[in-house]
């Protein structure tokens, strides 16, 4: 498990329309996406704590969120990586 895997998965989500659609569908159904399980399905092994570390690092670095990430936050789903 690694923070690097979580970081790489974040990049894949920003580039993969099919994966974004799966995430959007979960959010539209009122469910928080299981980020860890989605990552694992796509070959990225990380835990919720490691994914949260990426989000914390982004906030600390004042890094920009992708358009998709902004939509998720604006839509109220947040970027919570804990499983539901």
pLDDT of residue 84: 46
Measured CA to CA, the distance from residue 56 to residue 59 in angstroms comes to 5
pLDDT of residue 20: 86
SS (H, E, C) 21-59: HHHHHHHHCCCCCCHHHHHHHCCCCCCHHHHHHHHHHHH
pLDDT of residue 68: 73
Number of domains within the chain:
1
Tokens of 37: 């399980």
pLDDT tens-place values along the chain, 84 residues long: 588 888 888 888 888 899 888 888 877 777 767 878 888 998 989 888 887 777 677 665 556 767 776 776 665 555 555 544
Tokens of 70: 């902004």
Residue 48 inside a domain? The answer is: yes
Contacts of 41 (CB under 8 A, 6+ apart): none
pLDDT of residue 76: 54
Residue 47 inside a domain? The answer is: yes
Measured CA to CA, the distance from residue 39 to residue 6 in angstroms comes to 8
pLDDT of residue 12: 87
Residue 83 inside a domain? The answer is: no
Residue 34 inside a domain? The answer is: yes
Residue 84 inside a domain? The answer is: no
Residue 68 inside a domain? The answer is: yes
Enclosing domain of residue 34: 3-74
């Amino acid at each position: 498990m690694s923070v690097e895997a979580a970081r790489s998965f974040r990049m894949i989500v920003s580039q993969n329309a099919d994966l974004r659609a799966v995430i959007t569908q979960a959010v539209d159904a009122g469910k928080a996406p299981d980020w860890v399980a989605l990552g694992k399905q796509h070959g990225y092994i990380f835990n919720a704590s490691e994914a949260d570390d990426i989000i914390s690092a982004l906030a600390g670095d004042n890094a920009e969120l992708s358009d998709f990430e902004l939509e998720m936050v604006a839509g109220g789903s947040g970027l919570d990586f804990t499983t539901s």
